[in-house]
Structure 1
Amino acid sequence: MSVHSVSVPVITIDGPTASGKGTIAHRVARHLGWQALDSGALYRLTALAAQQQGVDASDEQAVAQVALQLDVAFQADQVLLAGIDVSSLIRQESVGNLASKVAAYAPVRQALLERQRAFRIAPGLVADGRDMGTVVFPDAPLKIFLIADVQSRAERRCKQLKEKGFSANLTGLLEDMRARDARDCSRTNAPLVAAPDAKTVDSSQLSIDETVGQVLDLWSKACQDK
C-alpha cells in the first residue's frame, strides 16, 4: 500500500457467510459516497474461472495462477468475467462452496491481496469479507464483525436464492452453512475471526436499515474519538 492510500479511510465488515455483510457494506458505502469492495466476489470469480477452465481445484498453485490472471470488471450491478456478466453464476451455492475451499489456499490469498488493496481510493472504502480487518486492511479506523445466528442466515440465503429464481432447500443450506463456517474459522490461512479492535454487530433481529444505522453510528463515534 502506498503512503497516500493508507491515508484513505476504510470501514471493514467481516463475518460469516450470509450474515448480510455485502448488502450492509454497499448501503454504508452509498450513504458515505465511498467505494465498496466485495472481496468474496473475487474468490467466487476465482472458483468460477477455475471451474470453467477445468483446473484441478485441489492444485493450489494452479488455482492461484487463475486468480492472478482474472479478467474482472465491476460495473454498477454487474460483475464481468472476461467481458461476460456472471453476477448470477457466482452466487450459486456450488460456486460459493468451492470459493470457500480455494480461499483457504495461501497462494490464492496472496494473489488477490494487492488487487483488494487497490480498491482503497479517495474518499474512502467499505470492504466486506472474512479477513478485511485482520489481514487486508489492519489499519482500518473502524472494523465491524457482523454476525447472525445460523438459522437466520440460512433463511435469508434461502429467500435470496428463491427470489433470484434458484431452487433452494433450507435443510441443505443449513448443513452447507455450518460446514462452511467450520471451514472458514479453522483454516490456517486468514481464518474467520474478529480483529481485536473490531466492534461486533449482531444482525439476527435487525432489519437492513437498522444494521446500516448501527454501522454509521459507530463510524460517527470513531470520527469523534480521533
Structure 2
Amino acid sequence: MGARNPVITIDGPAGAGKSTVARRLAERLGYRLVATGKMYRAVAFGILRDRVPQQEGPALRAYLAPLAIRVADGSVWLNGEDVTAAVQTQEVAQATSDLTTLRAVREKVTPLQRREAAAGGVVLEGRDTGTVVCPDAEVKFFLTASLPARARRRHAELLAQGIARPLAAVREELRARDAQDTTRALAPLRKAPDAIELDTSELTEDEVVERMLAEVERKCSTGR
C-alpha cells in the first residue's frame, strides 16, 4: 500500500454501531477520525439557525459557499464555532436527513471530506464514504444489523440523552430512514463491492473492533 497509512471507511445504516467502533478503531490505530455525518449536521444546524431555504436554489448555494466546516476528536466546528452539542437535537437530525438529498449540500461537503482523507491514516464513518467520498480507500467496511437490534441500540442512546421515545416509534423511524437512505438519487446507502461486511447484531463492540483490526492488518500485509 506504499508509505502512506491507509484510508479506512465504515459505512452502514443508522444503529449498526458505526460511530462507536469507528472511534475505537481510530484510537487503536492512532488514526484521525472523520465522522462525516457530523459535517452534514453542522450544515443543517447552520441552515436552521440562519433560516436559509431548505431547497435547491441560489439562496442555498450562496449560503453554503463560504461555510467552513471542520471535524476533529469527536467535535465539529462551523465557521470556527464549536457546534458539537448543538447538532445533536432531533430537529437537526431530521433536517440533516432531508438536506443530504440536495445536490448543493453534497457538492459542498463531499470535497471537504475528501480533503480530510487525502493524507491517509484516517477512519471515515458515514453512509457513502466507501462508495462516493473515498471509492479508492484501501480498507472498507460495511456494518449492518437487524432492524430490531438497531432499534434497541438507538432507543438506549436516546434514553442516555434523556429522550424517552417508544421503542416501536424508534424502529419505525429507522425503517423510514433506511428507505430514504437507500433510494435517494444522490449517494444512496449501499455496500461497496470491495467492502467487508460485518453483521453486528449479536456482536459486542469489542468483538467488532477486533475483527476490524484483524482485517486492517490482513489488508495492509497482503495488499488485497
Instruction: Using structure 2 for the length normalisation, give the TM-score.
Output: 0.90
- Equivalent residue for 1:115? 112
- Equivalent residue for 1:127? 124
Partners of 2:171 and 2:58 in 1: CA distance: 31
- Tell me, what secondary structure is at the counterpart of 2:211? helix
Residue 167 of structure 1 and its aligned partner are, at CA, apart by 3.0
1:212–1:95 distance in 2 versus 1, CA, 3 Å: same
1:57 to 32, 54, 59: 54
Contact 2:16 2:200 in 1 (8 A): yes
Deviation digits for residues 55-80 of structure 1 (CA, Å, limit 9, x no counterpart): 22233554444444334344544333
| RMSD of aligned Cα (Å) | 2.2
- Equivalent residue for 1:168? 165
Residue 100 of structure 1 and its aligned partner are, at CA, apart by 1.5
Deviates more, 1:29-38 or 1:149-158: 149-158
Deviation digits for residues 27-58 of structure 1 (CA, Å, limit 9, x no counterpart): 11111111111001111111111111112223
Deviation digits for residues 148-181 of structure 1 (CA, Å, limit 9, x no counterpart): 1111112111111211223333222111111111
Partners of 1:83 and 1:34 in 2: CA distance: 23
Q: How many residues align?
A: 222
Alignment of 1:181 onto 2:178 = yes
- Equivalent residue for 1:35? 32
Superposition pairs of residues 141-220 of structure 1, within 5 angstroms: 141-220=138-217
- Equivalent residue for 2:218? 221
Partners of 2:30 and 2:132 in 1: CA distance: 24
Deviation digits for residues 2-35 of structure 1 (CA, Å, limit 9, x no counterpart): xx9x955101000011211111111111111111
2:178 alignment partner AA = D
2:9 to 9, 12, 35: 12
Contact 2:42 2:77 in 1 (8 A): no
1:128 alignment partner AA = E
Q: Which runs of 4+ in 1 moved over 6 A?
A: none
Deviation digits for residues 173-194 of structure 1 (CA, Å, limit 9, x no counterpart): 1111111110000011110000
1:130–1:74 distance in 2 versus 1, CA, 3 Å: closer
Task: List runs of 5+ in structure 2 lacking aligned partners.
Answer: none
- Tell me, what secondary structure is at the counterpart of 2:185? coil
Residue 89 of structure 1 and its aligned partner are, at CA, apart by 3.0
- Equivalent residue for 2:91? 94
Alignment of 1:23 onto 2:15 = no
2:77 to 72, 77, 80: 80
Contact 2:32 2:72 in 1 (8 A): no
Deviation digits for residues 69-98 of structure 1 (CA, Å, limit 9, x no counterpart): 334344544333345443233222332222
Contact 2:35 2:71 in 1 (8 A): no
2:112 alignment partner AA = R
Partners of 1:37 and 1:196 in 2: CA distance: 22
Partners of 1:68 and 1:159 in 2: CA distance: 37
Instruction: Using structure 1 for the length normalisation, give the TM-score.
Output: 0.89
Partners of 2:62 and 2:83 in 1: CA distance: 20
Alignment of 1:45 onto 2:42 = yes
